[in-house]
Structure 1
Amino acid sequence: MYEELIKELLSLFYINKPPIKPEIIAYGLGVELYFYELPLQISGILYNRKNSPTMLINKNDNLLRQRFTIAHEIGHFLLHYSNNKIYLDYPIENSKIEREANTFAASLLLPDFLLGRYLNLSLEKISSIFYVSRKVTEIRLKDFKIL
């Protein structure tokens, strides 16, 4: 769904192998990134701070969750961002824009053009190579009609 945008984005930052480093992409896009102690139910926040897009990532989340949250916030930044809006990401949020950001994040962390090279491997091995959760890998493999 977002494959062309993701391909262009990864090319812009010379990323051509897994694992994708979403923090590098965020910095490259000019988004300030901070790891901060947030309430348990909030994984990340994207907002405008002094005319600069800023992400707060819950430092108490595990590393795989943090990586997904950064990719998710990049999705908000590229697809939905405006200077006067705040995006609070709750893990169970199910609005249209949250689903779009989740789809973008999964596709960014496991882009089609890279994932296709590893489809002969086990789900666990793919998760380990791309440094994502089993759940994210399952979602992307369903996109490939593998699961």
Structure 2
Amino acid sequence: MSVEWNWLEPRERKIIEGFQDTAPVRLSALAKALGVAVKAATLAPGISGEIRPEGDSYVIRVNRHDPPKRQRFTVAHELAHFLLHRDQIEQGLEDNVLYRSKLSDTREAQANRLAADILMPQQLIDQCREAAEDKGVGDQVLYMSEVLGVSEDAMKIRLGI
């Protein structure tokens, strides 16, 4: 797990872990448990997602025109901003297709690492790898990315390859 994982309050880690028991991680239910709504929306060209305060809580909007795996990473990324940078969201954050916003590159990298922790926890990676080996799967990265609902690139980054 990333250093950002350790920055979370124990209560937040426990909530997240409660949704990491089966693959793929149930992101909408996780967001709801954290008090954040998730909605698909038509966003401006080049915008993958956003998080904004609405009333007493927050809403994540994800670009409905992006592929499903991209939408999943976007939701996890915006949840990471909520968990790590809530005090900096102000009136809202928009993340473009490169996951860049008005926050610093450091903050964006933090959100990416925590998003990877949320979507690809080590125990699910280990389970996928074992299942792939048992089944004699040739392309384990592809298999694991399909099971976890992430892109092959995200899986390679998570695996350090």
1:128 is aligned to 146
Alignment RMSD: 2.0
Q: CA deviation at 1:3?
A: 4.7
- Note if contact 2:15-2:33 (Cα within 8 Å) is conserved in structure 1: no
Q: Which of 19, 26, 30 matches 1:25?
A: 30
Q: Structure 1: state its 5+ residue gaps.
A: none
- Note if contact 1:3-1:112 (Cα within 8 Å) is conserved in structure 2: no
Q: Which of 26, 37, 48 matches 1:43?
A: 48
1:70 is aligned to 75
Structure number, greater radius of gyration: 2
2:57 is aligned to 52
Q: CA deviation at 1:141?
A: 0.6
TM-score, structure 2 normalization = 0.79
- Would you tell me which structure has more helix in proportion to its own residues? 2
2:135 is aligned to none
Q: Structure 2: state its 5+ residue gaps.
A: 133-139
Q: Which of 99, 102, 107 matches 2:109?
A: 99
Which one-letter code corresponds to 2:114 in the other structure? F
